[in-house]
Structures are given as structure tokens and as C-alpha cells.
Structure 1
Amino acid sequence: MKLSYDAETDSLYIHISDSQAADSDEVADDVVLDFSTDGTLVGIDIQHASQKTDIQSIVVSNLPLRELQAA
């Protein structure tokens, strides 16, 4: 899983997997779920992220991580 933030567009994208999105569904204002061809959730797009989330802090808790990177 990977989080990507674009300050220019104020959008946060949560990459659930590396699969390509084939379909999308806006489930709330400025929140879009992306799905693969088989219907698997592959990403979450949050527009106006600084207004909808606390992007200043990320807390990772109880995840079975093999790797943690900051870019």
C-alpha cells in the first residue's frame, strides 16, 4: 500500500494495490474508489484532502509490515 499526496491539486491517493483501475465510483463528495476489471478495490482518491483529512500526521499501528519507506 502506498499513500501519494499532490499539494498542487490537494489530492491524496491511497494505492491499495499495483493493479490498474478500470472503473471508479464516487462514494461521497470528492471521494472516489477505483476498482480493477474484476471488481477489486485498487485505490482511494480524496480531493481537497487537506480539508477532509489530517494529512500532517500518519500513524501506523499493528500492521504486519515487511517494509516502511518515506519518500
Structure 2
Amino acid sequence: MKHNVITTLEKIQPWKTWFVTTQEYKKFDGFKIPTKCSVFWKLKEGDFNWLDFEIFDVKYNTINLDKKMNE
């Protein structure tokens, strides 16, 4: 018998449903990524804007990437 984790979480954490909207994308080193976003919780009373963020610069962890590519 499978346990329905989602139903249990809804009882414990009624704010568990959330979503992200993206307002803007930019390219960094040839990669297009979302740079301006908003995070919302879906509540009974309506959507709650929890966080707005914007990314201005990206620095990739190329040391680990280079290791994995050479394995």
C-alpha cells in the first residue's frame, strides 16, 4: 500500500504549493538563464508574493565541471 505523501503534506503545510514566474532572461557565457523572477505561494486567500529576485552576474564552477568531463 502506497502512502499519499502529498495529502499528508497538505494537512501539515497548507502553503506547500508554490510557483515561479519569470519576467526576464539574459545570456551569460552563451547560456540563457532566467534573471528576473518572482516566487509565489498558493494560499486559500490567494497567491502570496514571497520573493522577487534578479540575477546580475553568474560565475560558473568550472573546476568541478572540468573534473567530470575528464572522468
The structure, 1 or 2, with the larger RCO (C-alpha pairs under 8 Å, 6+ apart) is 1
| More helix per residue | 2
The structure in which a higher percent of residues are strand is 2
**Structures share a fold, TM > 0.5?**
no
Compare CA radii of gyration and give the structure with the larger one. 2
Q: Which interval holds the TM-score relative to the shorter structure?
A: under 0.3
Superposition TM-score, scaled by structure 2 size: 0.23
State the TM-score, normalizing by the size of structure 1.
0.23
